Chains A and B, each alone.
Chain A
Amino acid sequence: MSAERVSVLKPGETYASATDQISALVLTEPTRRTWVLFFVTSAALAVVYLYAITAVFAIGVGLMGINIPVAWGWPLVNVVWWIGIGHAGTLISAILLLLRQPWRTSINRFAEAMTIFAAGIAGMFPFIHLGRPWYFYFLLPYPNTMTLWPQWRSPLVWDFFAISTYILVSILFWYQGLIPDLATLRDRARTRRTQLIYGFLALGWRGSIRHWRRYETVYLLLAGLATPLVVSVHSVISLDFAVTIVPGYHSTIFPPYFVAGALLSGFCMVITIAVPLRRAFRLEPYITERHFDVMAKVMLSAGMVVIYSYAVELFTAWYSGDPFERGMLVNRALGPHATLFWIMLAVNAGVLQLLWLKRVRTSIPMLFTLAIVINTAMWIERYVIVITSTQRDYMPSAWGTVSETHYDWALLLGSLGLFFFLMCLFIRFLPVISIHEVRELIHEQEEQRS
């Protein structure tokens, strides 16, 4: 146990050194070229995103590659993918906290930020997808003169509540974690402006032990609430599909299947961010090989659940003997989008297995590439689920397929741009590592030694 605890931080770190170094990243560090590069490119993509949204709102969802029978297109694929990415953050911050995993400390902060940005972006796509987005508030249970209310049996309403709750709770959780660090920045800040800004955001936190007591308790309770929440969110998303009667949607394996998929793609994204971050800001002392090793293990286990779900889906489709279910199977394997199906299997069921090797788990470059490849395959998985299922459902006479337009691409790439744009801002203006938790960790280590 103790050996493990030690190995999550490079030895020789003190309260002072940790505090100074991490807060320096925000306060005194000069802007790096790499950061500027990232910032500008992602900002440019974010503009593309805004353009695409504006066009779709102004002219209509017909700009995207959707039709009857495939009325759900890329926006829905993106929702599922982005929400999934969000999940890793909550898992790290909440579940690992409950499990008392010290290694979470150095990565939970930006993982949570990732969660909020990803969930936020995911939350936008349903509105982009709406035929009349300007009436989105019809989904809200608000009192109105015509006493109209939402239809509570609809999974889309469940979605609406699940995603908005998820975003709100994640923000609370993240912000509470930030408060003491904002105080730290306030105290380190040299210029009046930064002092004011961080002071204001810190809400006057002064590290009173009585405050710490309540703080800790609520933090744990929030973690306790966030844990079932995160499981529920992607389960609810999966219900959008599972409660329908569409072959390929209508499947009881979906909730666990989706949650596992979410963790897989989420951890891919954490690694994708952690690697350059660590390099750029010399965070090696805090984000060690061991972090990557553990995250790779999580990916592997989540991946195995995903593979199991594939197997169950295929088996039940065949075993049911139902012509429509079997037809769905045939369509996926041989239909218009068969290539994607096979890529999905090859990567998520095949390439993933490389993670069994310690060599791969500990080699940063390999892990980095794997993370990106698998995350792409996870997007494809969602495409296969969402789009190929209705393409050929019950009545062959109504069969038809879609092909994406450049608006679909603009929205997907643009959303990535927006995501990294926000990430860049976060890295520049907030401590990417939870300072007070690092101090706590150091304290614990000293206790271990003494």
Chain B
Amino acid sequence: MPTPVEIIQAWRERLARAEGAAYCDALQEAAGDRVLCGALQEVMPELAHVWQRRIDRRRLLQLLGASLAMSGAAGCSRAPREKLVPYTAMPEGLVPGIPQTWATALSRGGSYAHGVLVKTHMGRPIKVEGNPRHPASRGASDAFSQAAPLELFDPERSRACTRRGAIVSSSAVLRALAAVRDRWSARAGRGLAVLTGSTSSPTLQRQVHALKSQLPEARWYVHEPIDRSSVIEGAALAFGRPAEPIYDFTRARVVVALDADFLDAMPGHLSYARAFADARRALDRHDSVNRLYAAQSTATLVGARADHRLSVKATQVNGLARRLAVLLGVIDDGTSSHDQEHERWLRLAAADLQAHQGEALVLCGDHQPAAVHVLVHAINEKLGNFGRTIRLIDPVADASRSNGDLRALCARMAGGAVDALFMLDVNPVYSAQADLPFAELLSRVPFALHSGLYQDETAGASEWHVPAQHAFETWSDVRAFDGSASIVQPVIAPLYPGWSLPQWLALIMKGEPGDAMGIVRGTWRALWAPARDRDFERRWHESLASGVVDKSQSASLTTALDRNWQAHVQRSVPSEGLELRFTADASVWDGRYANSAWLQELPRPLTSLTWGNALLISSALARELRVVNGDHVSVEHAGHELTAPVWIMPTDYPRHTLTLALGYGRTRAGEIGTDVGVSAYRLRTSAAPWLGTNVKVRAVEGHSALAAVQLHHEMHGRDLARQMTLDGFTAGARASHSEGNRLPSLYPEIDRHGRYAWGMTIDLNACIGCGVCTIACQAENNIPAVGKAQVLLGREMHWIRVDSNRVGDRGEETVFQPVPCMQCERAPCEYVCPVEASVHDSEGLNVQVYNRCIGTRDCSQNCPYKVRRFNWLDYNGYEREQPLAAPAAVMNPDVTVRSRGVMEKCTYCVQRISRARIQSKIEERTIREEEVIPACAAACPSHAIVFGDLLQSDQEIHRWRGSARHYVLLEELGTRPRTTYLAALRNSKPLDDETLKS
């Protein structure tokens, strides 16, 4: 047993010998070597703390100090020889301070991408916008892509290869890999299993194909917690071949959504939302407005926007579909075993569908069983909607080559037939269904390797872990909901070692990763089969530049209903007792985004909950259980039990349904995401992944405070978020009380002599309440996340909040209202500020001068809209370390990072205005409409926000403000807001008895 000093001495000699890459390897090994660390802690206890803690700038310096203490003392061993290239010549096209934009694609969850434009500042990706040329984005983006830059720079990302938690060099991984490769390649791949998420990447599909032909015995399994299998299966049953339906809402006058949240949950939701909103834009009273019937088994955005809503159990949806089919004469059986409300809703819908054949649309949710999809396909077929409002394409994420899902893998592992398992960009240890003993089986696999962005649960349970590369760091390709492909190109050099998915498959097949770009180019060279090399290069560059591969949309399948489709229709009876719905979470999806403070703090639609999930229950059930918000209940389903806090939903929430969002209760997500909420996976079974029936729930001891940002959804008779009936609108009613005239004022009218007069108008009829504007604003304006405790105190910092207001007689209808700063012309916040920190500029902006603000907060007190936010504490980590403070790298250099004690608020993205102003001055012209788009408006999927110059009468905002739906929030206060609203519309079908009888 050598003494610590001897151990260190040995290492010193070894380091002294090593050079260049070998030196680095040696250092890495040293860092991972338990014995050495132990010895070091004995000899240099003052450095002990350096090992445990997470690495930031200060820690890094400490580590440098430590390594100096080692190598420095080791007789001044020479530093590794490396070539340094001075930054004399600027990279082409890079002008300091001018951001560059790159087109690439991001996918929510694994597959189904939407094109994005990544704005990089001096090489740092800081902001993501939707790619207007991409069919799945049309310029909009979702919350996850808005948070992508934060994820890229997350200091808690996995930074090094590890073996059983100890850091090892990547060459060590390669050595180990080579060893196992010999074993399986000798046996045609027997014992080799690759587990990935579902993927739409042509390259990956090609590689999997190659892998299988090279190693026929190798297995490829797909584990996607949130997948579309029943959609594809339903199509398969109906048409005899797997397919995915895609919808065209612009043509649909009547939409019947059977538990289908096409605004949020479905692939293509961004473009669907836009199309749906456009189909009911109705600025003029003669414009046509579609009508939406929605049956929902939980609170959904579609339900909130529906003209006719019906709240049912998930298991009743099949019944609804059958009844609808009967009413439309698709099938015939005598059942009309529905209660009055259902029947009325169905008859109204049926009548409307009848009347709009070919321009109607019936759809059902991805989580509904295949049988329901079959019925819906039949109904659409009958109404002649195929080819008009709906078309079928080949499944985008083709899993036909896979050997099944996690269940299949577990079976094989249990059989001991897996001795090398690669888990690439998946986290099965966390997200495995409750009935699969995956973690336990994994421990028996001889060679288990995990590659992921984080040192997550699976990394902890596997012997080997290799950091994955972020979508911004690597080459790949991916397809959208309609099949159109995009090439994923890196916008920054990889921050940490690791390999991308294509490289992994190359590694498994060939033994070396190769270069990702080459692999991807290979795929497309094969797909395009270009005559000349030049053609390929041209298309390649076009695709990279535009962010979408030209003409890559999947062709519509022309298939008729299978002859015996009716055989697959089931006569399922609705379940007794309570049902438990599992939903994808709006902020963490299936759990993979859990470590993002921005996403965690983004209020979930409808509930406005932040930092965690809760079991959503109806108020009726709450009364039965005698629980209030936050009280703990124990949920028991299929032998699995889980304790969760409850959140009580408003009246229209289905009485017998519980809802629990997936993705929480992470145990190794990182400092931010760990132990937030409860894990729904512990109740989820592979038999019924989306719905638990006969669920038992009982109140138990315990309470946890739930951080909701909006505590009052009723408006107490105050006319804030307005809604008109379509009939009234077409009859010429106006939303504004002042009939568009300005209310009188004691103050003289002032002319601000500005060259522009900026204004914003928000269409409550288009807003779907998804909240992307909020996080887009956060990403653009360096808004800090403050954490659950502060949110509970009412100190969230979002500059634009999305209120969900209950309207209607029984408060059963919802109107979403985004509320940014109103930029009042007669701003009440300004005259109370003692130091002129809140003043007006010549273009009508109500500006906040951070340097001047001393934090009296009188402005916020006097703001009737309460849109101002205050830095109560040092949220940005100026003074002391803040775990939630975003790393400096992700900050937008055009926006001041606010210090403790100053007030802040929406600025209409003034930095974008001034950038455009500078450009326009250079070119000696006025700013064009499309030049200034605030982050919220740019990200909005449904184009609910329009921004423009009120002095240029040709701008869209003027058409909006001319509408009879236009009104001013709290106009009677005489604040003269520059931000105004368009009232929402309800297009409910007039009740006539014929429709009910027929």
Contact = CB atoms under 8 A, between A and B. Distances in A.
Q: Do chains A and B touch in the complex (CB under 8 A)?
A: yes
A249 B836 CA distance: 22
Contacts of A399: 711-712
Interface in A9-28: none
Contacts of A68: 794-795, 860, 866, 868-870
Given A61-B855, A130-B856, A154 B795 contact: no
Interface in A124-171: 126, 129-133, 135-136, 138-139, 148-151, 153-157, 160
B864 A394 contact: yes
A150 B901 contact: no
A402 B801 CA distance: 20
Given A59-B873, A60-B874, A245-B864, A153 B831 contact: yes
Contacts of A71: 857, 860-861, 870
Interface in A228-251: 240, 243-246, 249
Interface in B845-879: 852-858, 860-862, 864-866, 868-874
A244 B865 CA distance: 13
B673 to A, nearest CB: 24
Interface string B714-739: 11111010000000000000000000
Contacts of B901: 60-61, 130-132
B264 to A, nearest CB: 21
B819 interface: yes
B794 A132 contact: no
Given A61-B901, A154-B834, A400 B855 contact: no
Contacts of A155: 832, 858
Contacts of A394: 718, 864-866, 970, 973
B854 A132 contact: yes
A151 B855 contact: no
Nearest to A394: B864
Interface in A374-427: 390, 393-402
A397 B860 contact: no
B808 to A, nearest CB: 16
A324 interface: yes
A66 interface: yes
Nearest to B975: A245
Nearest to B899: A132
A131 B871 contact: yes
B714 A396 contact: yes
Nearest to A66: B872
A249 B714 CA distance: 24
Given A130-B901, A156-B834, A395 B864 contact: yes
B902 interface: yes
B503 interface: no
B224 interface: no
A67 interface: yes
Interface in B114-171: none
Nearest to B796: A68
A62 interface: yes
B448 to A, nearest CB: 46
A35 interface: no
Nearest to A159: B834
A330 to B, nearest CB: 9
Contacts of A390: 861
Interface string B693-714: 0000000000000000011111
A38 interface: no
Given A69-B860, A396-B712, A399-B712, A154 B900 contact: no
Contacts of A139: 834-835, 854
Given A150-B835, A244-B828, A397 B872 contact: no
Contacts of A245: 828, 862, 864, 973
Contacts of A323: 716-718
A327 interface: yes
A149 B720 CA distance: 38
Interface residues of B, number: 53
B854 to A, nearest CB: 5
B803 A397 contact: yes
B258 interface: no
Given A72-B861, A130-B901, A244-B862, A156 B714 contact: no
B864 A393 contact: yes
B747 to A, nearest CB: 12
B833 interface: yes
B107 to A, nearest CB: 33
B868 A131 contact: no
B872 A327 contact: no
B567 interface: no
B866 A398 contact: yes
A59 B882 CA distance: 13
A154 B864 contact: no
B902 A151 contact: no
A60 B794 contact: no
Contacts of B828: 244-245
A138 B860 contact: no
Of residues A59, A245, A327, which shows the largest number of chain B Cβ atoms within 10 Å of its Cβ?
Answer: A245
B872 A61 contact: yes
B833 A151 contact: yes
Contact of B854 (A66, A135, A153, A249): A135
Contacts of A136: 854
Contact of B793 (A67, A129, A393): A67
B486 interface: no
Given A136-B854, A156-B832, A397 B713 contact: yes
Nearest to B973: A245
Interface in B805-846: 805, 817, 819, 828, 831-836
B233 to A, nearest CB: 42
Nearest to A247: B864
Given A244-B832, A397-B712, A129 B856 contact: yes
A245 B860 CA distance: 11
Contacts of A396: 712-716, 718, 720
Contacts of B866: 68-69, 393-395, 398
Contacts of B874: 59-60
A403 to B, nearest CB: 9
Contacts of B713: 396-397
Interface string A291-320: 000000000000000000000000000000
B836 A246 contact: no
Contacts of A65: 793
B805 A62 contact: no
B891 interface: no
Nearest to A57: B901
A138 B970 contact: no
B858 A154 contact: yes
A396 B716 CA distance: 8
B855 A131 contact: yes
Interface string A30-61: 00000000000000000000000000000111
A157 B874 CA distance: 27
Interface string B890-910: 000000000111110000000
A130 B868 contact: no
Contact of A157 (B834, B860, B862, B868): B834
Contact of B855 (A130, A246, A324, A401): A130
B900 A60 contact: yes
Contacts of A138: 834-835, 852, 854
A245 B829 CA distance: 10
Contact of A244 (B712, B853, B861): B861
A324 B718 contact: yes
16 contacts: A61-B872, A72-B857, A131-B901, A136-B854, A139-B854, A153-B831, A154-B831, A155-B832, A155-B858, A244-B858, A393-B864, A394-B866, A394-B970, A395-B803, A397-B713, A397-B805
Given A67-B795, A132-B900, A394-B864, 12 more contacts: A59-B873, A66-B872, A68-B795, A68-B860, A70-B794, A139-B834, A149-B836, A151-B831, A394-B866, A395-B720, A397-B712, A398-B801
Closest 4 CB pairs of A and B: A131-B855, A131-B901, A62-B872, A67-B794
